[in-house]
A and B are shown apart, each in its own frame.
Chain A
Amino acid sequence: MLRMIIYRLLLIIPVGLVLVSFLFALFHLIPGDPAQLMAGDNAPEELVQAIRQAYGFDQPVHIQYWNYLIRVLQGDLGVSTYSREPVIDVVWPRVINTAQLAGLAMLFAIVISLILGCISAMFWNHPVDKSVTVFSLVGICTPVFVSGLIAIYFFSVYLGWLPIGGKATWKHYILPVVTLGAYQAAMFTRMVRSCMVDALGRDFIVTARAKGVAERLVVFKHALRNALLPIITLFGLGLGHTLGGSVVTETIFNWPGLGRLMVDSILTRDLPVTQGAIQIFAAIFIAVNLIVDVLYAWVDPRIRYD
């Protein structure tokens, strides 16, 4: 187990290196002179020249690349061209807000999907099962920005119960968390159901029932435990999707998170912030992936020494 964790941790080094290099290359491909962009369209030539020198844009590409690598390793992501603050200071509070949103949405999705998925599998082919399936299908086909707008219209505009956007009181959490969570819940429910249907069809379930184990125990102890393996991978993959979905959700509900920061920085052409936000997102995805893999090995000892 420890060996696997160490191996996976070491694997982050090349992955991270490739990623940072990739981003460096990509942002060098963007048309336009970065110094001109930072200075603004009507800036005097001297200012552009000064910025070019200060940021090292006049140096050969390989030296720029090396300096960039060193700076990223030191946690220096540059300075926002929009607010003139260090990118890391701009990004960090946003990371926490996004983590709150995504974490709560995941929790919501996991609880709902486990309940609905198990019920659906227990009532296999029964109207209860059919309605859960239709419900989750509708959920999958409704993108977050559609369900979010409908929720805003109904709960904020029509009923006036909940705030439209922002992040001040607990009331501000409800719509974004439920909107993002419901979409994930719809995805998860389908999978949990199919894993549970699979598990409930196995021979050991027949054995358990034959020896008179209570149905409640059959479902939650025998079937669910065995279905848990694929379900955990699913939730791990889902966490990445939730983070991806948070970009749109944050934009709808004006949530001050990393995703909205990224989109805003793209629209205001604040390149250092865009780059920083993408790097942080990438780091989070890699970390999530690592945790899921370790968790997987912990749940299923068979794959530990692969």
Chain B
Amino acid sequence: MDFLKRFSRDKVGLFFGIVLVLIYLIALTAHWITPYDPLQTDLRKVFQPPSWEHWLGTDQFGRDMLSRVILATQITARVTGLAILFAVITGVPIGMFVGFVGGWLDGLVMRITDMLLIFPIIMLAIVLVVIIGPTENGVIFALGISQMPQFIRVARGVTLSVKEELYIEAAVAVGASREYILRRHVWPNISAPIIVQASLTLPVFVLNASALSYLGLGVQPPTPEWGQMLNESVAFIFNAPYLMIGPTIALFLFTLAANLVGDALQETINPKLKKRK
């Protein structure tokens, strides 16, 4: 509760936290709140500019853009959420383990993460999508694996410092198993920095998931995705520029809210950072 109290003191963070919750509400209820069927084509209604019936207009197949933006919210929320989950589930145990064990294994894993961190996430994601295939699962794995090194590093770093604590020595002395110590003593200390890392990863994933779709390497049509919708709108930039409005605003809002909530979370957990602001 103390945490929530401290978080809510940051007005900007609180406001965008609410925005983020609203975005996830839209994502969860997407199937019920879309005014039209997002996949239903209607050739009598192509390229209608924004109006009372179609707030964001209709696209080249007569599909309602607002409905498509709403459904795309769900796709993005699911893809990025699962990708983060994947990165945490794979990265954190590895990081905790090598941090705790140390030795050559630690050195090896660190060298590999060092190497992977040289490459920007979009490059890694592209390479991985080529291997796995441009599907929703492909994007989830590609993004997840590309940020796994970050989670390994964070988990390892905290484990290294926790390892020196007296209570770990005590646990070792009474004969606790390695798994028990990691689960019972290391994990509670790690969860806060992992949550911060996850929240900082969210906007990165949102941007990169749509960048992949923009390139045609992400979620495939007819499933709507913001990046892919923007890519399709390029062809009609002269006669139907309003097609860009919906995906642009949605993408911007989601990234902005995720960024600010991530910053606020980081400051709540680590108040020292606040002084810099």
* Interface residues of A, Cβ cutoff 8 Å to B: 15, 18-19, 26-27, 29-31, 137-138, 140-146, 149-150, 152-153, 157, 194, 197-198, 240-241, 243-245, 247-248, 251-252, 262-263, 266-267, 274, 278, 281-282, 285-286, 289
Contacts and interface: CB of A to CB of B under 8 A. Distances in A.
Contacts of A198: 276
Contacts of B217: 263, 266
Given A143-B207, A145-B230, 5 more contacts: A145-B210, A146-B252, A197-B276, A248-B122, A248-B214
8 contacts: A143-B255, A145-B210, A149-B244, A194-B276, A247-B122, A247-B126, A266-B126, A281-B123
Contact of A137 (B126, B227, B256): B256
The 3 closest A-B pairs by CB, nearest first: A244-B120, A141-B255, A141-B256
B221 to A, nearest CB: 14
A140 B258 CA distance: 12
B259 A137 contact: yes
Interface in B213-243: 214-217, 227, 230-231, 233-234, 237-238, 241
Given A26-B127, A143-B210, A247-B123, A157 B237 contact: yes
Which of A140, A248, A262 gathers the greatest number of chain B CB atoms within 10 Å?
A248
Interface in B226-277: 227, 230-231, 233-234, 237-238, 241, 244, 248, 251-252, 255-256, 259-260, 276
A150 B227 CA distance: 14
Contacts of A274: 130
Nearest to A282: B119
B116 to A, nearest CB: 10
Chain A interface SS verdict (over half)? helix
Nearest to B120: A244
B174 interface: no
Contacts of A140: 255, 259
A289 B118 contact: yes
Contacts of B203: 141
B166 interface: no
B46 interface: no
A129 to B, nearest CB: 10
A26 to B, nearest CB: 5
Contact of B120 (A30, A194, A241): A241
B173 interface: no
A143 B233 contact: no
B244 A245 contact: no
Contacts of B255: 140-143
Nearest to B244: A149
Given A143-B207, A153-B241, A244-B120, A18 B130 contact: no
A98 B207 CA distance: 22
A243 B216 contact: no
A291 B207 CA distance: 28
B170 interface: no
Contacts of B276: 194, 197-198
A149 B203 CA distance: 20
A150 B214 contact: no
A140 B241 CA distance: 23
Contact of A157 (B119, B215, B238, B251): B238
A145 B130 contact: no
A16 to B, nearest CB: 10
Interface in B99-133: 115, 118-123, 126-127, 130-131, 133
B122 A149 contact: no
B190 interface: no
